[in-house]
């Protein structure tokens, strides 16, 4: 499985509890790795990284997770499990795009778009769904072009735009499916006023091979109007949070040696873009 692109989900120190909840709810998935900082869950073809970051950030519907159920029975089961302690954003009903669909937020603040339709594709896959709202409404296509341009292997798979007399401005993106670093992302524009925006609560993480690739991605985001943050984090021009993480960092962070991990974290805390030679040398000192 290509795990170059992962999704980071900020947790109020409940990473393991959250991962276990999804394994039980979906009756599938497995924990790839875990430590005091984070838990990695492989679920529905996507690796979700739950970060024990405290109450600073929370997930919100700006990046939700679309899941096409294999049957109406599966949808009903998931709906009943995920809605406990959560809230309904769009009620479970028949819509133009699916025989049955529901948009809900679970008790951990993570938003889910559950659907079932006899003719739907991507059954059993979890696909992150980005909605561009408020000042970002109308920029989904532009953002998609940025993401696709990050690698020769990335591409737009499908795009439908609003026409005249529909629920958004003509030409805005109703639905777009893009292939980015081996995974699929849904992107769309959202009309009207919304009380949420992209944040560190849900981020996209790219695992890089070396410093050259790390530098290239970092500069591509900054050149387009992005803003660098600490520890390999940045925000792109639309406010979407990205983590650009060399594989060498992940290897050291998961080595199991507490002293090495402590030295590693001390080295990267002051950094913005991660410098491989510097954190490797510090960790092994």
Q: How confident is the model at residue 122 (pLDDT cuts 50, 70, 90)?
A: confident
Q: How confident is the model at residue 2 (pLDDT cuts 50, 70, 90)?
A: low
Structure confidence by residue, pLDDT tens digits, 39-76: 999 999 999 999 999 999 999 999 999 999 999 999 99
Q: How confident is the model at residue 120 (pLDDT cuts 50, 70, 90)?
A: confident
φ and ψ at 150, to 5 degrees?
Answer: -75, -20
Report how far apart, in Å, the C-alpha atoms of 62 and of each of 109, 196, 199, 215, 238 are.
Answer: 11, 6, 8, 27, 11
Helix (H, G, I), strand (E, B) or coil at 248: helix
**Most distant CA atoms of the chain, gap in Å:** 64
Structure confidence by residue, pLDDT tens digits, 197-243: 999 999 999 999 999 999 999 999 999 899 999 999 999 999 999 99
Containing 39, the helix (H) or strand (E) segment is strand 38-43
- Is the model's pLDDT at 1 over the cut of 50? no
Q: Rounded to two decimals, what is the model's pTM?
A: 0.95
Domain covering 58-199 assigned CATH 3.30.720.110 in the classification: yes
Structure confidence by residue, pLDDT tens digits, 160-178: 999 988 878 899 999 999 9
What's the mean pLDDT when you consider all of the chain? 95
CATH among 1.10.3720.10, 3.10.180.10, 1.10.10.10, 3.40.50.880 for 202-283: 3.10.180.10
Per domain, the residue ranges of the chain are: 58-199, 202-283
Looking at beta carbons, which pairs linking 101-108 to residues 24 or more positions away fall under 8 Å? 102/75, 103/61, 103/64, 104/79, 105/61, 106/82, 108/11, 108/14, 108/18, 108/21, 108/59
Dihedral angle, C-alpha 138, 139, 142, 145, nearest 10 °: -110
- d(CA 284, CA 273) in angstroms, rounded, equals 20
């Amino acid at each position: 499985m290509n795990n170059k692109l992962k999704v980071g989900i900020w947790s109020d120190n409940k990473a393991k509890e959250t991962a276990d909840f999804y394994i039980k709810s979906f009756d599938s998935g497995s924990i790839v790795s875990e430590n005091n900082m984070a838990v990695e869950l492989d679920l529905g073809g996507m690796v979700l990284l739950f970060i024990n970051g405290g109450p600073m950030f929370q997930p919100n519907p700006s990046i939700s997770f679309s899941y096409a159920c294999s049957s109406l029975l599966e949808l009903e089961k998931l709906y009943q499990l995920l809605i406990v302690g959560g809230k309904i954003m769009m009620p479970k009903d028949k819509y133009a795009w699916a025989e049955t669909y529901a948009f809900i937020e679970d008790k951990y603040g993570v938003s889910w778009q559950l659907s079932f339709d006899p003719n739907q594709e991507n059954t059993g896959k979890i696909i992150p769904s980005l909605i561009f709202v408020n000042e970002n409404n109308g920029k989904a296509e532009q953002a998609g072009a940025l993401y696709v341009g990050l690698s020769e292997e990335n591409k737009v798979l499908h795009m439908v735009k609003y026409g005249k007399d529909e629920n958004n401005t003509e030409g805005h993106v109703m639905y777009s499916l893009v292939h980015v670093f081996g995974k699929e992302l849904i992107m769309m524009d959202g009309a009207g006023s919304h009380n949420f925006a992209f944040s560190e609560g849900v981020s996209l993480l790219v695992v890089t091979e070396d410093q050259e690739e790390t530098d290239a991605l970092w500069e591509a985001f900054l050149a387009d109007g992005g803003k660098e943050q600490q520890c390999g984090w940045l925000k792109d021009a639309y406010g979407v949070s990205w983590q650009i993480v060399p594989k060498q960092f992940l290897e050291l962070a998961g080595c199991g040696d507490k002293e090495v991990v402590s030295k590693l974290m001390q080295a990267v805390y002051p950094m913005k873009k991660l410098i491989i030679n510097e954190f490797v040398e510090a960790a092994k000192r």
